[in-house]
């Protein structure tokens, strides 16, 4: 089956990182972590939520959160040394090249210097992440998350 353009971009980014993960597109939405877990038959905590924030200077901050966790913005503000706000749809698309609901943890249009990985994800052997659209996902080994994303493992709660 032919992947959509956005999903193809993510597949190419994975290959460029030396990952032979396969991007798949489903007939049901994976827009939310719960939707994705239901569609994939996995634990909601194994779903990566890619959440984009921005600093006061409009610097993007990407949080890769476990599907069951909420981000503590005060904790993140300490990590980046600035107040942050949740990025809107236009900022998200401009920085990542993807729309909210399909933002992958890699393959973004612009470099994101602040990428934080939820430490709670490390308790699972495999994780699932969005792959460019609300219907596309890929599965990978948790041990590869830092190499794949360039992120730093932190407590986000």
Q: For each of the chain's 157 residues, which pLDDT tens digit applies?
A: 689 999 999 999 999 999 999 999 999 989 899 999 999 999 999 999 999 999 999 999 999 999 999 999 999 999 999 999 999 999 999 999 999 999 999 999 999 999 999 999 999 999 999 999 999 999 999 999 999 999 999 999 9
Residue 92's DSSP bridge partners are none
What pLDDT is attached to residue 1? 65
Tens digits of per-residue pLDDT, 109-121? Answer: 999 999 999 999 9
The residues, any chain, with a CB within 8 Å of residue 96's CB and separated by 6 or more, are 52, 60, 103, 104, 108, 109, 110, 112
Cα separation, 56 vs 5, whole angstroms = 32
Tokens of 51: 């959440």
pTM of the model: 0.96
Cα separation, 78 vs 101, whole angstroms = 26
Break the chain into its structural domains and give their ranges.
5-154
Specify the CATH class of 5-154 in words: alpha beta
In this structure, are strands 136-141 and 60-66 parallel, antiparallel, or unpaired?
Answer: unpaired
């Amino acid at each position: 089956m032919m992947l959509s353009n956005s999903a193809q971009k993510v597949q190419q980014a994975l290959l460029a990182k030396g990952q032979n993960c396969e991007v798949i597109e489903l007939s049901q939405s994976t827009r939310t972590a719960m939707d994705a877990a239901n569609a994939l038959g996995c634990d909601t905590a194994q779903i990566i939520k890619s959440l984009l924030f921005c600093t006061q200077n409009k610097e993007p901050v990407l949080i890769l959160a476990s599907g069951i966790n909420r981000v503590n913005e005060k904790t993140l503000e300490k990590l980046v040394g600035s107040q942050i706000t949740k990025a809107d749809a236009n900022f998200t698309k401009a920085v990542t090249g993807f729309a909210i609901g399909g933002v992958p943890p890699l393959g973004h249009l612009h470099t994101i210097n602040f990428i934080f990985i939820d430490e709670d994800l490390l308790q699972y052997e495999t994780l699932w992440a969005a792959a460019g659209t609300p219907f596309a996902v890929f599965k990978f080994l948790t041990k590869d998350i830092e190499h794949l994303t360039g992120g730093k493992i932190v407590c986000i709660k």
